[in-house]
Structure 1
Amino acid sequence: MTVYVAEIFGSGIAAFDAASAHEARAHLTDEGFQRDLIVMQSKGRPLWDGVAEIHVRIATPEESVIWQTGLATATQSTDFPGDRTRHVFLVPVVDPSLERSVDDDDDDDRD
């Protein structure tokens, strides 16, 4: 397997493995992968707007190391989906759907 990178606006966003360039291009159309790109945010902005073209290229050696390290960490999780194509984000990401709303007022909510 070769490690590929999904690139948006010239920036490497996510690395994943695929058996061929054709399979790597097909991964870009995966609904789950696209949903992750739309939902996940970096620096307060979605990784993908749902419209911009996503390019695929072979990962650099540094990106391959990031992918291998991220994959090793993920496989240690008990809920790791081993039957899916795995991608590792190359940029810091936040899933805003998992963030709790913060109640930052000073009252104790006993109204």
Structure 2
Amino acid sequence: MERLRSGVFGKAGADEGRTELDSENNIHKQERVMQTIEIAGRPTVVVSGSKDDVQGLLDDEAFFEDLLIFETEGKPLWSGDRKDLFVRGAFEDEISKWEKTFAQARLDGDATDEDRDSYIVFLVPITDPTEDED
């Protein structure tokens, strides 16, 4: 059974996005800070937040368990070797996918604005072999 490729998980990013002041000291919100977690060189998860925020997610035992259980294309998503995990700034197309997936989840009633900072999106198809097929 294919699992949702997104959802709320822990408190990944408390950052509401960066702000800047213009020449008249008006505050303008810039793009959200987004990070991508690569597993063995493959972009796998997009998370809202700074690198430090995402590092906190990577210290979450439940998140690690999910990464160990999940499969993608019939193979384990992750081997369990922490050196295979790499966090980097998300690319524009990854941010776009996160934004579209989050917007759809809000429309479907699966997420609210309050979930924005803890919402993750998988960039690869995910299955959970422990779930029974319907």
Shorter-normalised TM range: 0.7 to 0.9
**Percent sequence identity over aligned pairs:** 30
**Given the alignment, which residue of 44, 55, 59 partners 1:13?**
44
> What corresponds to 2:129 in structure 1?
96
SS at match of 1:7: strand
Distance in 1 separating the partners of 2:48 and 2:130: 26
Residue 51 of structure 1 and its aligned partner are, at CA, apart by 1.9
Closer, same or farther in 2 for the Cα pair 1:95/1:77, shift >3 Å? farther
Is residue 85 of structure 1 aligned with residue 118 of structure 2?
yes
Secondary structure of the 1:48 match is: coil
Partner of 1:59: 90
TM-score normalised to structure 2 length: 0.64
Residue 50 (structure 1) aligned with residue 80 (structure 2):
yes
> Which structure carries more strand by proportion?
2
> Quick check: which has more Rg, 1 or 2?
1
CA distance, structure 2, for counterparts of residue 74 and residue 31 of structure 1: 25
Q: Are 2:72 and 1:39 aligned?
A: no
Q: Over residues 64-92 of structure 1, what are the superposed CA-to-partner deviations in whole Å (9 max), with x where a residue is unaligned? A: 01111122222344454838722100011
Q: Structure 1: state its 5+ residue gaps.
A: 102-111
Give, in whole Å, the separation in 1 of the partners of 2:77 and 2:58: 13
Query: Which stretches of structure 1, 4 residues or longer, exceed 6 Å deviation after superposition?
Result: none
Q: 2:39–2:86: 8 Å Cα contact kept in structure 1?
A: yes
**Alpha-carbon displacement from aligned partner over 1:81-108 (angstroms, at most 9, x marks no partner):** 838722100011112223428xxxxxxx
Structure number with higher relative contact order (C-alpha < 8 Å, ≥ 6 residues apart) = 2
Which blocks of at least 5 consecutive residues in structure 2 are unaligned? Answer: 1-16, 18-32
- Kindly provide the amino acid, as one letter, of the partner of residue 121 in structure 2: V
State the TM-score, normalized to the length of structure 1: 0.75
SS at match of 1:12: strand
Query: What's the CA shift for 1:35?
Result: 2.1
Please state whether the residue corresponding to 2:126 is helix, strand or coil: coil
